[in-house]
Amino acid sequence: MEAYNITVVGGAGIVGREFLKILDERQVPVGRLRLLATSRSAGKRVEFRGATITIEETTEASLTGDDQVVFLSASGAASKQLAPIAAANGSFVIDDSSAFRMDPGVPLVIPEINAEDLEWHRGIVSQPNCTTTPMALALYPIHRVNPLRRIIVSTYQAVAGAGAAAVEGLRSETEAALAGRHQPSGTQKREIAFNAVPQIDLFAEDGYTKEEIKMANETRKILHAPEIAISATCVRIPTFFGHAMTVWAEFERPIGAAEARALMAAFPAITVMDDPATERYPTPMDVAGTDSVLVGRIRSDSSKPGAITFWTLTDSIRKGAAANVIDVLVEADRRGLIRR
């Protein structure tokens, strides 16, 4: 693979730092690496492959034609401002925010599902929400032989999905609660330690949250299946890493648990951990720090013959974000889509 000049905007964030870790773990060649953030982190030093990189404050002038790859992992507002500038410079932009996900001119890519969508990029490629990725990956091996009709999903999302401050918020709230104090950190819509909060992002007029709407719209876009009916309920729980969800799905033709399990198990992006006889199933602790999508509790729905229900997990900052970005980078390089 080519050693590109890479700039990470949000290089001090939880996803930005994981991105550097995975570059190293997978020995991805890198030319010049620059890390940008706000004035809060500017001046901090980060070690990468024996070199010390000083984080710089982001300005519009920070992005230049020297950047062959720009990874935007800061905020929707930063992406809206900076992605068009970087793309106009000829950089290959991978955007982690929701700013461009539903833009019809921007591919939204999970390489194991729709790598060919990279071919029509016009400078920006968008990265799915961290709950969309595991659900789409778990359902894809069935969907490609028996198209999806309807999905009902409930999530159990770790605080890492809300950034570094939210991880610190759970830690400080837990310490306070164990000392008998309620000390909300303000990083979630309610105190999160020893609690569960059924609101992630803001409410839309129909009563769904934007996180729930993202899951539905993004899944349809990635699977090229605008007709799938999807209803999501997204809940934040007091785990640090590893998003979990229960998925109910109905397909064009009835399917049973055994067939669903076999199709999922044969798909390389998924690891099935499912054996009720030995009480084998995955938990957030099993997926944290890995790039896996784990699936368990696969069963035929007892209330609706022909439908299935299962439990699936991924680490939001790994395959839910940074690891998928690196998968996109490797695939785009393989297809010759990045300026050399």
**Amino acid in position 303:** S
For ligand NAP, how many residues bind (rule: CB under 6 A)?
A: 29
Report whether 312 contacts 295 (CB < 8 A): yes
266-288: b (≥16 Cβ within 10 Å) or e: ebebbbbbbeeeeeebbebebbb
Using rule CB under 6 A, residue 219 touches ligand NAP: no
**Given the complex with ligand NAP, which of 71 and 251 has the nearer CB atom?**
71
Q: How far apart are CA 8 and CA 69, in angstroms?
A: 9
| CB of residue 257 to ligand NAP, shortest distance in Å | 30
Binding mask 321-340 for ligand NAP (x = CB under 6 A): x-------------------
Using rule CB under 6 A, residue 86 touches ligand NAP: no
| CB of residue 57 to ligand NAP, shortest distance in Å | 8
**162-191 residues near ligand NAP, rule: CB under 6 A:** 163-165
**Given the complex with ligand NAP, which of 95 and 250 has the nearer CB atom?**
95
Q: How are the residues of the chain apportioned to helix, strand and coil, as percentages rounded to the nearest 5?
A: 35, 25, 40
DSSP secondary structure code for residue 161 in this structure? G
Using rule CB under 6 A, residue 107 touches ligand NAP: no
End-to-end CA distance of the chain: 11
The span of 14-22, 118-126, 135-143, 303-311 binding ligand NAP (CB under 6 A) equals: 14-22
Distance of CA 134 to the CA centre of its chain: 8
> What are the DSSP E strand ranges found in the chain?
4-9, 30-37, 45-48, 51-54, 56-57, 69-72, 92-95, 124-126, 148-156, 229-233, 243-251, 270-272, 293-300, 308-314
Q: How far apart are CA 213 and CA 30, in angstroms?
A: 36
**33-52 residues near ligand NAP, rule: CB under 6 A:** 36-38, 40-41
Among 53, 63, 71, 73, interactor with ligand NAP by CB under 6 A: 73
The runs of H, that is alpha helices, within 144-209 are 164-178
Binding mask 116-155 for ligand NAP (x = CB under 6 A): --------------x-------------------------
| CB of residue 305 to ligand NAP, shortest distance in Å | 36
**Given the complex with ligand NAP, which of 13 and 141 has the nearer CB atom?**
13
For the chain, how many helices (H) and strands (E)?
9, 14
Q: How far apart are CA 167 and CA 242, in angstroms?
A: 12
Q: Is 130 one of the annotated active-site residues of the chain?
A: yes
The span of 30-38, 176-184, 204-212, 300-308 binding ligand NAP (CB under 6 A) equals: 30-38
Among 124, 139, 153, 160, interactor with ligand NAP by CB under 6 A: 160
**Given the complex with ligand NAP, which of 9 and 228 has the nearer CB atom?**
9
Q: Is 243 one of the annotated active-site residues of the chain?
A: yes
The span of 11-19, 114-122, 244-252, 261-269 binding ligand NAP (CB under 6 A) equals: 11-19
- Among the listed residues 130, 143, 224, 234, the single catalytic one is 130
Using rule CB under 6 A, residue 70 touches ligand NAP: no
Residues for the chain: how many in total? 340
| CB of residue 21 to ligand NAP, shortest distance in Å | 13
What are the angstrom distances between the C-alpha of 321 and each of 146, 193, 265? 28, 24, 23
Distance of CA 112 to the CA centre of its chain: 14
Catalytic positions = 130, 243
Binding residues for ligand NAP (CB under 6 A) = 9-10, 12-16, 36-38, 40-41, 58, 73-75, 78, 96-97, 130, 160-161, 163-165, 316-317, 320-321
